[in-house]
Structure 1
Amino acid sequence: MSAQLRVDWPACQARGLCHELLPEVVELDEWGYPIVTGEVSEELLSDARAAVRGCPRLALRLVD
């Protein structure tokens, strides 16, 4: 099973915590906004959930 990480662009303020918590899936653009580079594998699912919980703007979510 894999999941997708989605970004709520209006809510995101480019703090970069998602990249720090999940660098395997999230890169940052030149302004610090997240770029999701792939699906979240089952091995990374717990890290992805931590990134969603850790987002200070609640701008991330996981979808199946």
Structure 2
Amino acid sequence: MKVELEADKCVASGQCVVAAMEVFDQDDEGIAILLTDEVGEDRLDDVREAVAVCPAAAIRLARQ
């Protein structure tokens, strides 16, 4: 699955990093950044959690 992040919507809550630290990080201002934009089954549940807890709805999963 492909992970899409709209960084301009990010409110720097860090919830995505807590949910999926292998996929997300934060820059110096706390804005989310993607470490990878493709995830396998092993990380899919974590990314789904990140999508669910993002207060800005800035993260999406999309089929390739």
TM-score, normalised by the number of residues in structure 2: 0.84
Root-mean-square deviation (Å): 1.1
Match of 2:34?
36
- Displacement of 1:47 after TM fit? 1.0
| Alpha-carbon distance in structure 2 between the residues aligned to 1:12 and 1:4 | 18
Match of 2:51?
52
Structure that is richer in helix per residue: 2
| Alpha-carbon distance in structure 1 between the residues aligned to 2:41 and 2:59 | 18
Identity over aligned pairs, percent: 35
- Displacement of 1:9 after TM fit? 2.7
Stretches (4+) displaced over 3 A: none
Please list every run of 5 or more consecutive structure 1 residues that lacks an aligned counterpart in the other structure: none
- Displacement of 1:32 after TM fit? 0.7
TM-score, normalised by the number of residues in structure 1: 0.84
Please list every run of 5 or more consecutive structure 2 residues that lacks an aligned counterpart in the other structure: none
| Alpha-carbon distance in structure 2 between the residues aligned to 1:31 and 1:13 | 10
